[in-house]
């Protein structure tokens, strides 16, 4: 199996081996991917979540290591300077190079992530409230620099050691049934919605408890915390009409 590591802060994953094709997801600095095929300067890669797409070789370097070392540093939103003197920002979840100097922001060692981000529903809900505030909606995005709904949920859960599939409809197939009463959902339950006649899942948000939900929504332009009992808000009314069910992962 041929492996590669992402060396750019954010590397787009495309549907086809050309830069003008749609971005379907992103990989971050330090992530390992399996190389499945290649076409000229484009590589078909698969990440740890099983999601596949085309990435330009300029974003990657070959590697023999299948995972980040325990002492690797992970950005929680930081500004770094490399050994070459180049200053670059790194988004939430990206790994620093070994010689990077932290100029601003916060980083944590990879082996300290479980302590910093415990695997509990309350901790996941707290993270969902904090790290994506101000993020814009971006199809295929997975960081606070721009994300879509399922990129947001996947990134938040990953910080807490819970691997979710990439797309909302895939996430809706995992976990356990959490019912359809939005006011009774526990923190970290995922709520699924559809705006299609066939009711295929098209949107997902993270329950915060007491009817709260955090999500990245095109209709809101990005990150928003909703109160799902606020039926004076036309957007919330529309959300409630499109709600299908919830799933529980912890």
Give the pLDDT confidence score for residue 67 in this predicted structure: 87
The CATH fold of domain 121-248 = endopeptidase fold (from Nostoc punctiforme) (3.90.1720)
pLDDT under 50 in the chain at which residues? none
Give the pLDDT confidence score for residue 66 in this predicted structure: 86
What is the per-residue pLDDT across 213-240, written as a single tens digit (0 to 9) for each?
999 999 999 999 999 999 999 999 999 9
- CA 150 and chain centroid, separation: 7
Whether residue 71 contacts residue 96, with contact meaning beta carbons closer than 8 Å, is answered with no
What is the per-residue pLDDT across 138-183, written as a single tens digit (0 to 9) for each?
999 999 999 999 999 999 999 999 999 999 999 999 999 999 999 9
Pairing of strands 32-39, 2-6: antiparallel
- Phi, psi at residue 109, to the nearest 5°? -65, 145
Give the pLDDT confidence score for residue 65 in this predicted structure: 87
Rg (alpha carbons) of the chain, rounded to whole number: 18
Give the pLDDT confidence score for residue 205 in this predicted structure: 98
- Phi, psi at residue 164, to the nearest 5°? -110, 150
Q: Which of 148, 130, 170, 117 is nearest to 219 (CA)?
A: 148
Question: Which letter does DSSP use for residue 136 in this model?
Answer: B
CATH architecture, domain 2-63:
Roll (2.30)
Give the pLDDT confidence score for residue 62 in this predicted structure: 95
pTM of the predicted protein model: 0.96
Q: Which of 133, 132, 119, 245 is nearest to 190 (CA)?
A: 245
């Amino acid at each position: 199996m041929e492996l590669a590591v992402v060396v750019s802060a954010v590397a787009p994953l495309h549907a086809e081996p050309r830069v003008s094709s749609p971005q379907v997801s992103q990989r971050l600095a330090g992530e390992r991917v399996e190389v499945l095929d290649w076409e000229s300067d484009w590589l078909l890669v698969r990440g740890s979540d099983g999601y596949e797409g085309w990435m330009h070789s300029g974003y990657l370097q070959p590697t023999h290591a299948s995972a980040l070392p325990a002492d690797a540093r992970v950005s929680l939103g930081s500004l770094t300077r490399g050994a070459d003197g180049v200053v670059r920002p790194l988004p939430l979840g990206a790994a620093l190079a070994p010689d990077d100097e932290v100029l601003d922001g916060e980083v944590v060692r990879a082996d300290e992530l479980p302590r910093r981000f415990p695997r509990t529903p309350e901790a996941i809900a707290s993270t969902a409230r904090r790290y994506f505030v101000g993020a814009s909606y971006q199809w295929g995005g997975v960081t606070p620099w721009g994300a879509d709904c399922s990129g947001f949920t996947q990134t938040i859960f990953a910080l807490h050691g819970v691997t979710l599939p990439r797309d909302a409809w895939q996430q809706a197939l995992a976990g356990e049934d959490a019912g359809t009463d939005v006011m009774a959902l526990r923190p970290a339950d995922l709520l699924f919605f559809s705006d299609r006649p066939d009711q295929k899942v098209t949107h997902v948000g993270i329950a915060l408890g007491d009817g709260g939900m955090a999500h990245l929504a095109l209709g809101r332009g990005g990150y928003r915390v909703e109160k799902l009992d606020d039926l004076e808000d036309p957007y919330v009314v529309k959300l409630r009409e499109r709600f299908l069910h919830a799933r529980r992962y912890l």
